[in-house]
Amino acid sequence: MKLARFLKDGLRKFGIVEGEDIIEIEGSIFSNFQKTSITHKLNSVKLLAPCEPSKIVAIGLNYKAHAAEFNKPLPEEPMLFMKPSTAVIRTGDEIIYPHHMSRRVDYEGELGVVVGKRAHMIRKEDAKDYILGYTCFNDVTARDLQGKDIQYTRAKGFDTFAPIGPWIETNLNPLDVRIETYLNGEKKQDTSTKDMIFDVYHLLSFVSHVMTLIPGDVIATGTPSGVGKMKPGDKVEIKIEGIGSLVNTIRN
Ligand code: MG
């Protein structure tokens, strides 16, 4: 099931995407909801970011080939950093290039995990019960600042640096899905999540032993190899098997 958040006639709504249609739901996607009899054409609504995370917890170096491309040793535990909620944008929105501070901005295609239930010190074997579903995530990064600063906050935290969407797929095996990134239609990243060093369930468990996750929070699970730079005017697409595509353009 594909759960979407959208704008129609100035109102924010939730719906289930089925083919070319979106069926409005009432209730909360995090508890109980029912389909209504109201259906829209998908192309007649404006999709919003599918959730409003209180925090985005991102994982660094979670694919062996990506660690190798940066000549970094494999981590012994997941390496966590955070992106602010103010960085979130929807599919179709523009990523703003922070020329005032950076000369190098990269895409990072990632599987995003959307938390469905309050999660505090969860065992790995129970992690699945706390996940609402999965979405595409672009961990946009000012690479020059990441190299310069000890902390990642500035490099990862600019406004518009967290595109999320297009919706949340609730029925997905996160242990083996294909993630592809295209820049102006050219394939740049293509890897299965089975190449992760720490899988999705391990990550949710690990993060929940550090901080309480609440419904709508997002874990960005790390990018595979093949990261690269973007420039104003570029179009970037993160495509995940079984979910769909998150598409954004870059602007000055
Ligand atoms: Mg990343």
Residue 152 confidence (pLDDT): 96
Domains of the chain, first to last = 2-47 (2.30.30), 56-251 (3.90.850.10)
Residue 137 confidence (pLDDT): 98
Distance 59 CA to ligand 1 centre (A): 6
Distance 221 CA to ligand 1 centre (A): 7
Residue 67 confidence (pLDDT): 83
Distance 139 CA to ligand 1 centre (A): 5
Q: Which residues fall inside 5 Å of ion ligand 1, going by CB?
A: 108, 139, 223
Distance 85 CA to ligand 1 centre (A): 16
The mean pLDDT values, 10 residues at a time, for the chain of 252 residues are 96 97 97 96 97 98 88 93 98 98 98 98 98 98 96 98 98 98 98 97 98 98 97 98 98 96
pTM summary value: 0.97
Query: What is the rounded CA–CA span in Å between residue 14 and residue 47?
Result: 10
List the strands of the sheet with 186-192, edge to edge. 94-96, 244-251, 235-240, 178-183, 186-192
Q: Indicate the residue type of 74.
A: L
Indicate the SS3 state at residue 164. strand
> Please, which contacts does 5-12 make with residues 24 or more away whose CB atoms are closer than 8 Å?
5/47, 5/48, 5/49, 5/50, 5/51, 5/167, 6/40, 6/45, 6/46, 6/47, 6/48, 7/45, 7/46, 7/48, 8/40, 8/44, 8/45, 8/46, 12/48
Q: Which has the closest alpha carbon to 245: 164, 126, 140?
A: 164
**Pairing relationship of beta strands 162-169 and 88-89 according to DSSP bridges:** parallel
Distance 30 CA to ligand 1 centre (A): 26
Query: What is the rounded CA–CA span in Å between residue 177 and residue 14?
Result: 26
Read off the tokens for 38: 């109201």
Query: What is the rounded CA–CA span in Å between residue 99 and residue 180?
Result: 27
The number of CA neighbours under 13 Å toward the Cβ of 159 is 7
Distance 81 CA to ligand 1 centre (A): 9
Residue 197 confidence (pLDDT): 97
